[in-house]
Each structure stands twice: as C-alpha cells, then as structure tokens.
Chain A
Amino acid sequence: MQVQDRKDIKEVIIIGSGAAGGMAAWNLTRKGVNVTMLDAGRKFNRGEFWTHVKPWQWQQRLDAGEKPPPIVLNTAEQPYITPMDQPFQLTRVWGRGGKTNIWGRVSLRYSDLDFAGPEKDGWEIPWPIRYKDIAPYYDQVDQLIGVCGGDDDSDSLPGSRYFLPPPPMRCGEYLIKRAARKVGIETVAIRRAVLTQNHNGHPKCHFCGACGDGCDVGAFFNSSDYLIEPALQTGKLSVIDNAVAARILVGDDGLANGVQYSDRYTKDERRIYGKRVVVAASCIDSTRILLNSTSPKYPNGIGNSSDVIGRYLSEQVRFTIRAFAPELKGAAVQNDDGIGGAHMYMPRFNHRDGRKRDYIRGFGCQFWYTGAQTDLSWAKSLPGFGLEFKKAVKARYPAVLALHPFGETIPKSDNRVTVKGSPVDQYGVPIARISYSLGENERRMSKDMYDTILEIVHAAKAEIVPYRYGAVEPNGSAIHEHGTCRMGTDPKRSALNGFNQMHDVKNVFVVDGSAFTTASEKNPTLTILALAWRATDYMADEMKRGNV
C-alpha cells in the first residue's frame, strides 16, 4: 500500500466528478478552497464520441474494428447484485463528468408540493428545507449551466426568470397539447439543460438529436466542461484519475480524516488524507462507500447511527405509450430531432380540482420519441406483412406520438442497498447488494398514469400501439436513484442535516441523489446541482468559522 505523506493534508477531498462532485469542486475552488477530487475514470474525449454516426454506420464501424468510447461502466468490471426476483438496472459512468455526459437533460424545479409532501400525507420524514431555501440556488444554476424553458410558473413546477428560449415544438407535440387541453390537462415547454443559444462560452445546440451518445461540442451541461474545467483553471483543484474510492477513513476524534481508494487498473491501494470529505459518487456507489466505512466507532458504516443509510432507495415508475396522430399519417417526414427528446412537459396536476386518487404523491409526463425518430420498434406491432405492411409503416412514421409519464416511488425502509456479506470486487471491497421492489402506492399511481395517458390519446383520436395496462419499465431504468443517505431534521431518522452534512460526522457532506428525502416525479440533476451548491456554500462558511 502506498501511503501519502501524513503531512500532506488536503483541505477538501471530493469523491466523484458528476453533477454533484463537479458542482462542489467548482463552488469551493472559486471560494479559494483547495480541493482534491477522486475520479473513478478519466476525462472523455468529446471528439471520440459517436454523436454523428448514423444508425447504419454503427455496424460498419464495429465491423471495421472500431468501438464507441466506453462511457457507461461495464457491469463485468464492477458488478452489483440483486435478489433473483428483484432485478434492478443500475447505470453508472466512471470518468470525468459521470452520467452528465449522457444524461437526459430534463431540468425541473422541485416545488413545495415535493418538499412539504411528506408532512402533508405523513409518509416517512419531511424534507428539512422548503422551496424558498433552494430557489436562489435554482436561479444561479439556471444562469450558470443554461436551461431552456417557457414562462410558465405553477404550484407543482415553479418558473424561472433565467431560461434560454425553449425549442419550437414538433407537430406531434402540438397535437398532444391540444388533446390534453380538451380533457383539462395543461402542458408547458420542457425545461432542459440544452443551450438553445451560445451561453457562457459554450456553443449552442446543433439539433442533431444524438445527445445520448455524448455531445461532441458540449452544447448541453456536462460536469466536466461546465464545472471541472473552470475549477481546474483556478489552480485550486487537482484530480486523481482512475481512483476508485473504497472507504472513508476516521480519526480518533470520530471525524473523517481521509479516503482509501484503489487505482482502477493497477489495483494499487492508496490513502489520501484530508480535513473534510464530500461524497458525490452517485447514489448507489456513495452508499456503498459509506456502508463500507466501518470502524470501532462506526460499526454500521460512517455516520449511520440512525441505520437509515442504504435504506429508502427510491427510483421512479415510468412507461411509454405510442400512438399515431390521424392528422400526421402520410405527412411529409420532417427532421424531428430538435434537442433530442421531449420539447414539451405535462407538470403534475393530480393534486388539483378535487381530483380523487387512491394513492399519495404524483406524476408528470414527458414526450420522448415523438415524431420521425430512429426507433421503429412500434412497427412490429402492425399486423400482416408485404407491401401493405410496408405502406402502413411508412404512413405512420411521421405520425408517432409518444407519451412517457414518470411517477414518484415512495421511500420504504426495505428498499435498500447493503454491503454486509456481499462478495468483494477486484479491489477487495464489498459490492452493493440492491434489494428493491414497487409497492401498492406505485401500482395504484401507475393505473392513474395509464388512465390519464389513455384519456389524452383518445382525445387525440389517435390509433394506439398495443400495450399492457399497468406495465412499467424495469426498476432502475429511469436512472434516478435517490434516498439512501437522506436529509432530515431528526438525527434518529436521517443521516444528513438540511445542508447535506452528516449529523454524526460534521466534516462529511453527501451531495448526490442519495441525500434526497423523497424522489418526486421529477428528474433530479437540477436539484442535485442546487443542493450541492448550497451545501458547499454552507461548508465554506463553516470552514471560515472554524466549525468544520
């Protein structure tokens, strides 16, 4: 084992380089704090992304022996386990920027419906913050990273004065909007962290629609270009590449004093010492690190006297319904790429107008895959074969409407990540065991989601692609893991205070999705950024006061 010189004590160690770690590094370095970041991979070269490889060119490139850059971590390299009957799809990115290299970019503010929801319905603990606490940070994040959106503002989706112009909507989205309005449901412009104008030195989107393969120009927010590069320019940040964190080290005083990690490839085990640790390795991996950080003082994992760390894993339920708009059948095919994914959003409305529901919390809807896209899987459901079949596919191709609702899953203590008794990874560290299932609330909400979506499709008089009522996408596939190291006011029922600081260990801050008290129906990254900014503001102030 290589041991760093004990005299070289870092001011702050950040584990992880995604949205959370990047924001922490950017904010602390600009305040003059010296930061060392552990990144489990290294910087990706945007020029190598297969952004502009057309669908038919993928096979040609593979045949030529080329491979797309391995952005998503291969499970064979770093496994996790689940019970046989509870599969969970975990998507991880090890490397500069983490999942922000390929994220969906949907940037929706939480509202007090979300923050005060638990208090109202009594399910699990309340958030320690309210919208007013985070609103200034949402404003700052919108301005920093560039978020496009409309001028709407509602109790379920607070507005912003800082949006870039929203992209024009596709034909199909207008037709869904009209149909939804007929049944009393309002839709708004989507909010996405995609640059519809040049912004803060980053170029605007060129509307190729291939964002999921990584943007070759950095026209949507990614933590590497937007946060870590500027932080490096301050001279206050150093990044250790290929550093796979194993556990947080604890001193005799019960405070964290370093991190043990291994080189991803040589597997050499190393230790780095520091005065404060920011944990931002993404929900599941952060949780794994915390639970593996056992010591005589913290036999249950660091900061886990409450035994909540690892519990209350919350993802989201979602599905996609496709239909064909009669107005668009046989229409001229347009380039429907836009900013890649939905340009429209249906905010949560199920709490309004005395609507009856037999479940708690809510759902919203996105409209990914609407229009002439490259996924033709729906064509398999059309009957017959031959020329008639070929014509039927062609006629429907420009007419695809896609409705893609997301619903909250409520936190339950048995939905959890554990490491005790797990097999060890190639670095000798126990891997995560994820045990997660949906419950009655999710089943009931899914039905309301189906009924709502079908009502809109019927109002559009659209031909619907066959579906299985109530079916939802595999657990984990929203890639929105939350809740396993949650914030709260009560140290007996939460691991972090309202500033993402551990109740038990004052010099450890956990700033990724694991800190969320609830998952809501919204995509988490914007809120992760806002919370991480707020947490590190507080941390820097506490450092000045000598408290951490």
Chain B
Amino acid sequence: MSSRRDALRILTLTSTLPVLGSAAQQTKEVETQPGHLHTGPATQVPVPSKPTFFQPEEFRAVEAISECIIPRSDTPGAKDAGVALLIDKAVVADPTLTQPFRAGIADLNAVALTAYNAKFADLTNEQQVTVLTPLSLDPSSSLGKFFNIVKDMTVDAYYKTEAGLKTELGWHGNTYLTEFKGCNHPEHQS
C-alpha cells in the first residue's frame, strides 16, 4: 500500500514474451480453492510500440544507453525487454524528467561526436562503453547525473519485466502453492 510501489509499477513491462499460458494455468489451479473469486488475467492488448515523448533519435540513444547498462547475454537485455519504451512512459508521467533527458541525450551525443564523429547510438558497443565509463565514475558531473538517472530507471524498468524478473533473475512467485516449504538447507538453520 505504498506510493513507492505504485511508482515502480509505472515502469512495468511491454515485452512481447508470451505470458498468457502460464497465467491461465495458475488461475485454473487457484480456482479450485474454496471461496475463490478470481476473475482471470487481463485481455491481452497490442503493446504500444512507439515512444510518445522521445524523438526517434533520442529513443535510439536511450535504447543504446540502457542496453549498455543491462546488455543481452544468454538472457534478454534492456532492449529485448522494451526498457526504453518504459522509460518513455515514465518521463511522460513525470514532467521533471523531460529537461534532464532532452539535455542529457544532446550532451552525450556531443561527447560522442567529439570523440568518434558519430552519434552515441551509432558507436560500436566498445566505443559506447568507453564514453559511458567516465560518466559512471563521476556522479557529480551533469552527464554523470544523467547517466545515473538512466541507470536507475533502467534497473526499475528491466527488473519489473518478465524478461528481467523471470527470465534473468528466476523469480517464480505469485503463484498458487498448497504448501510453503521455506528453507530446506540444514546448514542455514544451525
């Protein structure tokens, strides 16, 4: 019942990964419980695929930064999880973020142009990391602050998606269990 949690919920997923099957199955299980009134999962709707705040060039930059922060490995990265779209939603919901993003992206592109004569999104991954590393180590500079805003929002968004929370981290909660077993490691209990 906290506004903190509600704020985090603005950053929930728009991933295209399938979710319906498992949810429906769990619902069926839960409905066998006496007194259960659950109404089942939401109608699936097409995921909005275009940002409403970011210009296309800005969106590419946000996508590139967030992918640098949480890259694809053997599990999905920020881009797979649709993090940039979630950040777009969050910026729309919080107008105090619009100026830092507009200015931050422009400044970052300026740094990229000076160093490599290309916009940030067009750099190689190695070049992008080279540009971001000093920012991540200098949180008091204006670009360092911008980097941290994007990092925090990437973390908030990614780990609320099915890709981040379930596929990457292995969360498998909010399901029907007839029994909760807890710790089954004697070495933790002595």
A, B: real partners: yes
Residues on A lying within 8 angstroms of B by beta carbon are 45-48, 51-64, 66, 71-72, 89, 91, 102, 167-171, 173-175, 178, 198, 202-203, 205-210, 212, 216-218, 327, 332-333, 335-339, 343, 372-377, 379-380, 383-387, 389-390, 393-394, 397, 477, 479
CB pair B174 A66 closer than 8 Å: no
Q: Classify the interface of chain B: helix, strand, loop or mixed.
A: loop
Kindly state the separation between the CA atoms of A55 and B68 in the bound complex, as whole angstroms. 24
A contacts with B: majority SS: loop
Instruction: Digitize B51-93: 1 where CB-to-A-CB distance is under 8 Å, 0 elsewhere.
Output: 0000000000000000011110100000000000010010000
Whether B38 lies near A389 (C-beta < 8 A) is no
Q: Would you call A52 and B38 a contact (CB within 8 A)? A: yes
Q: Which residues of B contact A91 (CB under 8 A)?
A: 1
Which of A54, A202, A332, A343 lies at the interface centre, i.e. has the most chain B CB atoms within 10 A of its CB?
A54
* Nearest-Cβ distance from residue B65 to partner chain A, whole angstroms: 9
A333 to B132 Cα, complex, angstroms:
31
A69 to chain B, nearest CB (A): 11
Where the two chains meet, the residues of B that have a C-beta atom closer than 8 Å to any C-beta of A are 1-3, 5, 8-15, 19, 23, 26-27, 30, 33-39, 41-45, 47-48, 68-71, 73, 86, 89, 129, 132, 136, 151-152, 155-156, 159-162, 165, 168-183, 185, 187-190
Cα of A337 to Cα of B86 in the assembled complex, Å? 26
Give bound CA distance, A380 to B11, whole Å.
15
A389 to chain B, nearest CB (A): 7
Q: How far is B71's CA from A337's CA once the two chains are assembled, in angstroms?
A: 28
CB contact under 8 A between A64 and B161, given known A57-B19, A338-B180, A394-B169: no
B173 close to A336 (CB less than 8 A): yes
Choose one: A51, A66, A339, A477; the contact of B42 (CB below 8 Å): A66
Closest to A216 in B: B38
Determine if B13 and A60 form an interchain contact, defined as CB atoms under 8 angstroms apart. yes
A72 to B3 Cα, complex, angstroms: 11
Interface pair A102/B1, CB less than 8 Å apart: yes
Report yes or no: B12 in contact with A58, Cβ–Cβ below 8 A: yes
Taking a contact as CB atoms under 8 Å apart, the answer to whether A56 and B183 are in contact is no
With A46-B37, A203-B34, A206-B176 as contacts: A390 and B70 at CB distance below 8 Å: yes
**A-B pair number, CB within 8 angstroms:** 210
The 4 closest A-B pairs by CB, nearest first: A168-B182, A47-B37, A59-B12, A56-B13
Instruction: Give bound CA distance, A202 to B8, whole Å.
Output: 32
Chain B residues within 8 Å of A207, by CB: 176-177, 179-180
Asked whether A333 lies within 8 Å of B165 as measured between CB atoms, the reply is no
15 additional A-B pairs beyond A45-B37, A64-B44, A169-B182, beta carbons within 8 Å, are A53-B41, A54-B162, A56-B19, A59-B86, A62-B12, A174-B188, A208-B173, A209-B174, A217-B34, A379-B159, A380-B156, A390-B73, A390-B168, A393-B159, A397-B169
Of the residues B26, B42, B69, contact of A389 by C-beta under 8 Å = B69
* CB-based contact B12/A55 at 8 Å: yes
Do B30 and A52 touch (CB < 8 A)? yes
Q: B residues within 8 A CB of A72?
A: 1
